[in-house]
């Protein structure tokens, strides 16, 4: 009996076809089953278990502390929720930079234990041999160029990247290298819109932008940011599509009052 089933799930082939057809690709981060299920049901193409979980879920200042095992724990819930979307998991800082062998071992562990569809790595020419090894091992890889938060200590902050011509030229070269190596998509973070457009035209892999203008093949945002759950963070590129911080605080305030004044639970809410 065959275990292969027909699926309507988004695949690496599908996102490449979307680029060719001029259809925009939608990606949002997700870190848990409940929200991932809602985002999946809403029709998102790609769920990214970003290492931004280090900030959003764990409250760390940087993405650097999160571990492979923590990423796997979060990814399992997202994978269980995803009926339609493809699930991409960030390889955390330190899990792919040491050696090609170590990178393959960690990527295989992430894919096996979480059930995810692909991994994402930050970097260009520097990590090309690593990306080639992962792809040769049958692991779909999403690249990530521009602002790469795992290198925050090297950059000295989260400012706009590739403003100067030399850095822009390097980014374009890196994107071409990632494309030739077989990355199925490339995230472009916080770079000038004109450069993102140039890169998008120059590569066959779909580009997915965050703070990179609207000429990229798709867009990604951190879910909690776009839902307005994190009011303290509002860079220029971010749009709040909801104001959930206010909704959550309002609901919790109403609950506290109802408990304190004895109106919750009422007669219909007890056994």
Residue 19 or 144 having the CB closest to ligand KIV: 144
One character per residue 7-46, x = contact with ligand KIV (rule: CB under 6 A): ----------------------x-----------------
User: 83 by DSSP, 3-state: which?
Assistant: coil
Q: 196 and 202 in contact (C-beta within 8 Å)?
A: no
CA-CA distance, 205 to 185, in Å (whole number)? 5
Residues in contact with ligand KIV, shown as a per-residue x/- string from 88 to 127 under the rule CB under 6 A: --x-------------------------------------
Estimate to the nearest angstrom the gap between the alpha carbon of 47 and the chain centroid.
7
Residue 75 found at the interface with ligand KIV (CB under 6 A)? no
**Smallest distance from the beta carbon of 56 to ligand KIV, in angstroms?**
8
Cα Rg for the chain, rounded, in angstroms? 20
| DSSP per-residue letters across 92-151 | PTTSSSS-HHHHHHHHHHHHHHH--SEEE--BSGGGHHHHHHHHHTT--EEEEEES-GGG
- Please name the residues in contact with 269: beta carbons below 8 A apart, sequence gap of 6 or more: none
From the list 49-57, 110-118, 123-131, 262-270, the region that binds ligand KIV by CB under 6 A is: 49-57
Q: Which residue has the CB atom at the shortest distance from ligand KIV?
A: 50
51 contributes a contact to ligand KIV by CB under 6 A: yes
Closest approach, Cβ 18 to ligand KIV, in A, equals 18
Q: Specify whether 70 is catalytic.
A: no
Of 203 and 220, CB closest to ligand KIV: 220
The reply to whether 228 sits near ligand KIV by the rule CB under 6 A is no
Q: How many C-beta neighbours within 10 Å does residue 30 have? A: 32
Give me the residues that bind ligand KIV (CB under 6 A), please: 29, 50-52, 90, 187, 189, 210, 220, 222
């Amino acid at each position: 009996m065959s275990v292969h089933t027909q699926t309507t799930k988004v695949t690496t082939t599908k996102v490449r076809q979307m680029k060719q057809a001029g259809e925009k690709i939608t990606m949002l981060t997700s870190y848990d089953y409940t929200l991932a299920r809602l985002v999946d049901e809403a029709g998102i193409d790609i769920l990214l278990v970003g290492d931004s979980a280090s900030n959003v879920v764990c409250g760390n200042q940087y993405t650097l502390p999160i571990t492979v095992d923590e990423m796997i724990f979060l990814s399992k819930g997202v994978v269980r929720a995803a009926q339609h979307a493809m699930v991409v998991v960030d390889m955390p800082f330190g899990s792919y930079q040491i050696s090609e062998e170590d990178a393959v071992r960690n990527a295989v562990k992430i894919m096996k234990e979480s059930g995810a569809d692909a991994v994402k790595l930050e970097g260009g020419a520097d990590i090309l041999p690593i990306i080639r090894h992962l792809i040769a091992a049958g692991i779909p890889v999403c690249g990530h160029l521009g602002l790469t938060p795992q290198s925050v200590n090297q950059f000295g902050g989260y400012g706009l990247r590739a403003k100067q011509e030399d850095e822009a030229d390097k980014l374009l070269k890196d994107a071409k290298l990632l494309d030739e190596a077989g990355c199925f998509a490339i995230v472009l973070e916080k770079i000038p819109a004109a450069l993102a457009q140039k890169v998008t035209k120059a590569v066959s892999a779909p580009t997915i932008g965050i703070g990179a203008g609207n000429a990229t093949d798709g867009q990604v945002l951190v879910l909690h940011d776009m839902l307005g759950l994190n009011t303290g963070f509002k860079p220029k590129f971010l749009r709040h599509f909801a104001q959930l911080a206010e909704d959550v605080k309002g609901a919790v305030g109403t609950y506290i009052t109802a408990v304190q004044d004895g109106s919750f639970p009422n007669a219909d809410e007890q056994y």
